[in-house]
Chain A
Amino acid sequence: MKQIRNFSIIAHIDHGKSTLSDRLIQATNIVAARDFKDQILDSMDIERERGITIKSNTVCLPYKAADGREYTLNLIDTPGHVDFSYEVSRALASCEGALLLVDASQGVEAQTLANLLLAMEHNLEIIPVINKIDLPSADIERVKHQIEEDLGLDSEKAILVSAKEGTGISELMEAIVTKLPPPKGDPQAPLQALIFDSHYDVFRGTIVHFRIFEGSLKAGERIRFMYNNTMHKVEEVGLFQIVRKPQKELAAGEVGYMIAGIKTVSDTRCGDTITLQDRPCDAPLPGFRDAKPVVFASIYPVAADEYEELAQSLEKLKLNDASLIYEKDTSAALGFGFRCGFLGLLHLEVVQERLEREYDQSVILTVPSVSYKIILNDKTEMIIDNPTHYPDPTTIEQALEPYIRASIIIPDRYMGAVMKLCLDRRGINKNYQYLTSNRLEMIFELPLSEVIFDFYDRLKTQTQGYGSFDYEVIDYRPGKLVKLDILINGERVDALSQLVHEERSYTRARVACDKLSEEIPRQQFKIAIQGVVGGKIISRSTVNAFRKDVTAKCYGGDISRKRKLLEKQKKGKKRMKMVGKVMLPQSAFLAVLKTDTE
Chain B
Amino acid sequence: MANPTPESNPSIGIYVHIPFCQSKCHYCDFYSITRAERIPDYLDALKKEMQLSKISGVRADSLYIGGGTPSLLTPRQMGNIVDWAAAYFNLDPNAEMTLEVNPATATTRDLQDYAAFGFNRLNIGVQSFNDHHLTFLGRRHTAKQALAAVKAGNDAGFTNIGLDLIFGLPDQTAGTWKSDLLQAIRLAPKHLACYMLSYEPHTPLHADLQSGRFTALSDLRTADLFRMAHDFLGAAGFEHYEISNYAQNARWRSKHNQKYWNFAPYVGLGPAAHGCRVPVRWWNHRSLDHYLSDIAAGRLPRADEEHLTLEQQMIEALYLGLRQSDGIVLADFQRRFQSDFKLYFHTAIDRFNAEGWLEMDDRRCWLTMEGMLFLDRIVDELIEMIS
Contact = CB atoms under 8 A, between A and B. Distances in A.
A322 B244 CA distance: 58
Interface string B20-46: 000000000000000000000000000
A548 B194 CA distance: 16
Given A559-B320, A560-B283, A563-B315, A552 B274 contact: no
A557 B380 contact: no
Contacts of A549: 373-377
B377 A566 contact: no
A548 B260 contact: no
Interface stretch (B84-92, B133-141, B149-157, B218-226): B218-226
A178 to B, nearest CB: 58
B206 interface: no
Interface string A551-568: 111101111101100110
A546 interface: yes
Contacts of B223: 547-548
B66 A556 contact: yes
A553 B379 CA distance: 16
B219 A552 contact: no
A29 to B, nearest CB: 40
A297 to B, nearest CB: 27
A69 interface: no
Contacts of B274: 556-560
**Range, interface on chain B:** 35 or more
Contacts of B80: none
Given A550-B243, A551-B376, A553-B196, A570 B222 contact: no
A552 B377 contact: no
Contacts of B375: 549-550
Contact of B316 (A546, A552, A563): A563
A570 B373 contact: no
Interface in B258-300: 260, 266, 268, 273-276, 281, 283
B219 A548 contact: yes
**Range, interface on chain A:** 20 to 34
A521 to B, nearest CB: 10
A558 B222 CA distance: 25
Given A550-B372, A558-B274, A573 B260 contact: no
Contacts of B114: none
B243 A552 contact: yes
Nearest to B221: A547
B220 A547 contact: yes
Interface in A501-559: 524, 546-554, 556-559
Interface in A200-251: none
B193 A566 contact: no
Nearest to B267: A557
Contact of B196 (A546, A552, A569, A573): A552
Interface in A554-594: 554, 556-560, 562-563, 566-567, 569-570, 573
Contacts of B376: 549-551
Contacts of B266: 557
Nearest to B355: A524
A167 to B, nearest CB: 45
B177 interface: no
A566 B380 contact: yes
A573 B384 contact: yes
Interface in B217-273: 218-220, 222-223, 226, 243-244, 257, 260, 266, 268, 273
Interface of A is mostly: loop
A570 B380 contact: yes
Contacts of B315: 563, 566-567, 570
A405 to B, nearest CB: 48
B159 to A, nearest CB: 24
A573 B383 CA distance: 10
B306 interface: yes
Interface string B60-73: 00000010000000
B198 interface: yes
B372 A559 contact: no
A563 B219 contact: no
Nearest to A574: B384
A365 to B, nearest CB: 22
A584 to B, nearest CB: 15
A526 B194 CA distance: 29
Contacts of A551: 196, 198, 376
Interface string B367-387: 000001111110110011010
Nearest to A554: B244
Given A553-B198, A567-B312, A562 B15 contact: no
B232 to A, nearest CB: 16
A546 B306 CA distance: 34
B366 interface: no
Interface string B174-185: 000000000000
A555 to B, nearest CB: 8
A563 B320 CA distance: 10
B325 to A, nearest CB: 14
B333 interface: no
A108 B193 CA distance: 69
Contacts of B226: 548, 552
B119 interface: no
B117 interface: no
B15 A556 contact: yes
B341 interface: no
Contacts of B218: 547
Nearest to B357: A524
A151 B271 CA distance: 66
Contacts of B257: 554
B319 A566 contact: yes
A570 B260 contact: no
A147 B165 CA distance: 75
Given A556-B260, A557-B276, A559-B281, A548 B312 contact: no
Interface in B296-332: 306, 312, 315-316, 319-320
Given A548-B222, A552-B196, A557 B275 contact: yes
Contacts of A556: 15, 66, 260, 273-274
Contacts of B275: 557
Interface in A308-336: none
A550 to B, nearest CB: 4
A566 B379 contact: yes
Contacts of A548: 219-220, 222-223, 226, 373-374
Nearest to B64: A556
Contacts of B283: 558, 560
Contacts of A546: 219
A586 to B, nearest CB: 15
B195 interface: yes
Contacts of A524: 355, 374
B260 A566 contact: no
Contact of B373 (A550, A557, A558): A550
Nearest to B275: A557
A487 to B, nearest CB: 25
A554 B193 contact: yes
Contacts of B219: 546-548
Contacts of B268: 557
B198 A560 contact: no
A548 B315 CA distance: 21
B257 to A, nearest CB: 8
A452 to B, nearest CB: 35
Most A Cβ at <10 Å: residue of B274, B320, B386: B274
Given A551-B376, A559-B320, A563-B319, A570 B281 contact: no
5 contacts: A547-B218, A549-B375, A551-B196, A557-B274, A559-B320
Given A550-B243, A554-B193, A559-B281, 7 more contacts: A547-B223, A549-B375, A550-B376, A552-B195, A557-B266, A563-B315, A566-B380
The 3 closest A-B pairs by CB, nearest first: A557-B274, A548-B223, A547-B219
Interface of B: 15, 66, 193-196, 198, 200, 218-220, 222-223, 226, 243-244, 257, 260, 266, 268, 273-276, 281, 283, 306, 312, 315-316, 319-320, 355, 372-377, 379-380, 383-384, 386
